[in-house]
Amino acid sequence: MRFRQILFPVDFSERSRAALPFVLSMARRHGARVTLLHVIGPPMPLYADMAALFPNEFDYDEAKAAIQERLQHIACDELPKVETTCEVDIGLPAEGITSCANRAQADLIAMPTHGYGVFRRMLLGSITARVLHDARVPVWTSAHAPEPSHRAHPQPRLILAALDLKPENRRVLQTALELARDAGATLEILHFSGEDETDARQFETRSRELLNEIARDDMMTECGDAGVIVQASEAGEGVGGSVRRAVLEKRADLVVTGRGSIQEDGPARLRANSYAIIREAPCPVLSV
């Protein structure tokens, strides 16, 4: 998979800054253009009642000019030798991000997730969650940058593809294989099972079949070298916790997973396991 146009929403937080090396690496590796976007939300009202709404005075033109300048500085300082475009929109952030992605014909949205303090591992920020639900292109997230527990290399060396047996996971696996090939990374396919050994054997067999199908269809002869791991979840751990443990044990740099079938007549549906993986993983996650 080649990313030609990357959309990077910027909120000027520490998390945005921590994600920039990954955006730079992806842009250089794929020869991509990057659109830096900041969405100015509507100002909070002074007060409101049943009859009237009195907004704060806010000079949008002045704010847009100042933010445009800040984005230009980020482009020059953090994304050298990358073709960039800087945009400032006004409105609700999640809607602004998905609208800009469509307008710019982005094929990847890269954004850190937001959750704060002890609650960070319990939730995703509402903006990120909405983008994950609504976007029709892959979304790169990193819930725990720049925490000390966060581990990853801007150019991934080990990629984990977290899969189940649902039909849409062919697309997930194909994406992971292409990314591993482009980055020269090792790929391992990860599936979590309980005590059911039959489920584990079925998954390993189906994964091998799927690898062979992709290799045959896409003439990717190196696909067969990918490892297939069926790992038992520990009691009470859940899929998100199991992926977190696997990332730390394997020293993985990227997790690739699905987030539901993309419908032609509606937005994607983020499955509960996908949500947990994105929230818990101590490395970036690419949701396709």
Q: Does residue 174 sit in the same domain as residue 203?
A: yes
pLDDT tens sequence across 71-101: 999 999 999 999 999 999 998 899 999 999 9
Where a domain ends, among 148, 180, 215?
A: 148
Where a domain ends, among 104, 127, 148?
A: 148
Q: Does residue 285 sit in the same domain as residue 173?
A: yes
pLDDT of residue 220: 46
Tokens of 147: 């925490």
Q: Does residue 171 sit in the same domain as residue 94?
A: no
Distance (Å, rounded) from C-alpha 103 to C-alpha 235?
46
Q: Does residue 136 sit in the same domain as residue 2?
A: yes
Q: Does residue 143 sit in the same domain as residue 240?
A: no
Q: Does residue 230 sit in the same domain as residue 211?
A: yes
Q: Does residue 240 sit in the same domain as residue 194?
A: yes
Q: Does residue 3 sit in the same domain as residue 129?
A: yes
pLDDT of residue 58: 67
Mean pLDDT score of the chain, rounded to an integer? Answer: 78
Q: Does residue 175 sit in the same domain as residue 85?
A: no
CATH code for the domain in which residue 287 is found: 3.40.50.620
Decide if pLDDT at 270 tops 80: no
**Residue 190 Rama label (left phi>0; alpha psi -120 to 50; beta):** beta
Where a domain ends, among 148, 164, 190?
A: 148
Q: Which domain holds residue 35?
A: 1-148
Q: Does residue 140 sit in the same domain as residue 161?
A: no
CA torsion through residues 262, 133, 16, 245, sign: negative
197 DSSP assignment? H
| Preceding omega of 9 cis (within 30 degrees of 0) | no
Q: Does residue 3 sit in the same domain as residue 92?
A: yes
| pTM for this predicted structure | 0.81
Q: Does residue 9 sit in the same domain as residue 127?
A: yes
100 DSSP assignment? H
Q: How many domains does the chain have?
A: 2
User: Taking a C-beta distance cutoff of 8 angstroms, is the pair 27, 6 a contact?
Assistant: yes
Maximum separation of any 2 CA atoms in the chain, in Å: 69
Distance (Å, rounded) from C-alpha 182 to C-alpha 154?
13
Q: Highest mean pLDDT range out of 24-33, 111-120, 227-236, 256-265?
A: 24-33
